[in-house]
Amino acid sequence: MNGDARLPMACQRVDEDLASLALGTLAGRERARVLEHLKGCVRCAAEVESLSRAGDALLALAPESEPPVGFELRLMERLREETRPSIEPRSRRRAVLAVAAVLIATLGFGAEALVHAATTSPSSSANPRPLSARLTANGKVLGEVFLTNGSPSWLSMTVDEGSVGGRVRCQVVLTSGGVKTVGTYLLTTGYGAWSMRVDAPANQVRVARLVNSHGVVVARATLPA
Amino acid sequence: MDYHGAWSEEVSDEALMAGVAVGDERAVLVFVRRYQRRLFGLALGIVGDPGHAEDIAQEAFIRILRHASVYDARRASVSTWCLTITRNLAIDALRLRRAVPTAPDDPLFANLCAMRAAPDDAVLARDGVAVALSALAELPDEQRRAVTLSALYGRTAAEVAALESIPLGTAKSRIRLGLSKLRQSVLPIEAT
Ligand SMILES: [Zn+2]
């Protein structure tokens, strides 16, 4: 049952398995054997590549099914647990926003990790747990701020109290006293969640704050040192 | 970096992905709602157990959201990218589990094999569905079954052999020949 007789012997020996490899269903020793061959064979490697794309195209026909009730909430819960084990949600709205922030922070890690992988500096992502702080105005809690470790770090902010509105700038104040604006957002109904890259190491970020269009600081969060 | 929260059901996958990549909360929710039936359905077709399929679909979402910023539209459509991630997770998750091969029991499988009951208009209008369907229709029945079992339901060649009561070599040939033929219909000529 070998493939095309015009192929070199080595290729004939793996040819039947190339489709399974392309579809992800080849495992164990067979898979290792085929992968070994692909290292040295441009023809078979190209064949697997195009068979993969054909298989991927078929996925457009994949079956659909309604997930079990609560799927979405459990997904959010899982995202939350992954990065930050102890949040006590005060309300559902708040919970969703806090979750969104963690989810956003997770995104940040992903990008960061990939950048590290690409630039071969694997050492600096040691502690992926974000710092967090309450975002407050006049003693009232408006939301939360999360800051990932590392450089650059990622800042996520949620506002869920409803009293701040309009266009706001998000700024960070560094230990050096310097101020950086990291994003501008529209708080339509006083609710929002964003994530932004901070071009400074996390341990140099002292304060995150929101500034309104008149330049007035409307909310601030002091991050733990 | 200014997002106004105008994400709706109509926004394109690519625009949605851009929103997801910058961490827009509403984009994430629209995205999850748009794809949860497809990711869960694909996982369920492969692993067969709803609880296990949910775990896989959730894990797929977590990976997709985490890597949204490196999604490359030149390489694959958003849906293909997401479905590929889900399929690979489902197959990996199953590798050590299934002792006895089982046939997919959803009606779509039977319909695809028999090439009857066209999908509804909404599904048909989706990117790539019509092309994939007509490519599948051109295959001989036995190759269509083998390819469908492998590509959409994650069955290995050995499982296809058992399910179809044919020798392993025959199952491998059907998958290989079927997928090669299909490739000619679904891929642009210059790519093959
Ligand atoms: Zn070869």
Residue matched to tokens 């408006």: A142
The number of beta carbons lying within 10 Å of the beta carbon of residue A58 is: 26
CA–CA separation, A157 vs A10, rounded Å? 57
| Same-domain status, A140 and A209 | yes
How many Å lie between the alpha carbon of A9 and the closest alpha carbon of chain B? Answer: 17
Name the region of A50 (left: φ>0; alpha: ψ -120 to 50; beta: rest).
alpha
CA–CA separation, B82 vs B151, rounded Å? 15
Which of A122, A73, A129 has the alpha carbon at shortest distance from A106? A129
Single out the residue in B69, B99, B129 at which a domain terminates: B99
| Same-domain status, B121 and B35 | no
| Same-domain status, A177 and A218 | yes
Query: Within chain B, how many helices (H) and strands (E) appear?
Result: 10, 0
| Same-domain status, A199 and A150 | yes
| Same-domain status, B122 and B182 | yes
| Same-domain status, A139 and A201 | yes
| Same-domain status, A163 and A89 | no
Using omega within 30 degrees of 0 as the cis cutoff, is the peptide bond preceding A128 cis? no
Provide the domain limits for residue A27.
Answer: 9-60
A4, part of any domain = no
Are A19 and B176 a contacting pair at CB < 8 A?
A: yes
Cα Dmax for chain A:
80
CATH number at residue B42: 1.10.1740.10
| Same-domain status, A185 and A202 | yes
| ipTM computed for the complex | 0.89
- Mutate: best of B40, B176, B190, partner A, most A CBs <10 A: B176
Task: Report pLDDT for A92.
Answer: 42
Q: Tell whether B134 is within 8 A of chain A (Cβ).
A: no
With contacts defined as CB-CB under 8 Å, which chain A residues touch B117?
Answer: none
| Same-domain status, A15 and A53 | yes
pLDDT in tens, B140-190: 999 999 999 999 999 999 999 999 999 999 999 999 999 999 999 988 764
CA–CA separation, A44 vs A50, rounded Å? 10
> Mutual orientation of helices B78-94 and B25-47 as an angle, nearest 10°?
40
| Same-domain status, A111 and A84 | yes
A160, part of any domain = yes
pLDDT reading at B119 higher than 90: no
- A159-197 burial code (b ≥16 CB/10 A, e <16): bbbeebbeebbbbbbeeeeeeeebbebebeeebbbbbbb
Which of B60, B82, B91, B180 has the alpha carbon at shortest distance from B128? B82
| Same-domain status, A89 and A112 | yes
A2, part of any domain = no
Single out the residue in B60, B77, B99 at which a domain terminates: B99
How many Å lie between the alpha carbon of A206 and the closest alpha carbon of chain B? Answer: 23
CB B80 within 8 A of CB A105: no
CA–CA separation, B181 vs B139, rounded Å? 7
Alpha-helical (H) ranges within B78-190 are 78-94, 107-114, 121-124, 129-137, 141-151, 157-164, 168-186
Task: Report pLDDT for B5.
Answer: 46
Are A82 and B62 a contacting pair at CB < 8 A?
A: yes
| Three-class secondary structure of residue A209 per DSSP | strand
Provide the domain limits for residue B116.
Answer: 101-192
Q: Tell whether A70 is within 8 A of chain B (Cβ).
A: no
The pLDDT of B4-9, averaged and rounded, is 58
CA–CA separation, B38 vs B161, rounded Å? 27
B54 falls in which pLDDT band (50, 70, 90)? very high
CB B5 within 8 A of CB A48: no
| Same-domain status, B70 and B105 | no
Q: How many domains does chain A have?
A: 3
| Same-domain status, B72 and B147 | no
Single out the residue in B81, B99, B117 at which a domain terminates: B99
Q: How many domains does chain B have?
A: 2
| Same-domain status, A115 and A135 | no
With contacts defined as CB-CB under 8 Å, which chain B residues touch A49?
Answer: none
Average pLDDT of adjacent 10-residue blocks, chain A of 225 residues:
74 96 93 96 96 95 93 84 47 48 47 33 41 77 72 69 72 86 69 70 86 81 82
CB A195 within 8 A of CB A105: yes
Task: Report pLDDT for A184.
Answer: 75
| Same-domain status, A76 and A157 | no
With contacts defined as CB-CB under 8 Å, which chain B residues touch A189?
Answer: none
- Tokens linked to A86: 């102890």
Residues 6+ apart with CB under 8 A from B82: B35, B38, B39, B60, B64
CATH number at residue B133: 1.10.10.10
How many Å lie between the alpha carbon of A107 and the closest alpha carbon of chain B? Answer: 4
| Same-domain status, A158 and A200 | yes
pTM for the predicted model, two decimal places: 0.64
- CA of residue B133 to ligand 1 center, whole Å: 30
| Same-domain status, B22 and B105 | no
| Same-domain status, B77 and B167 | no
| Same-domain status, B75 and B124 | no
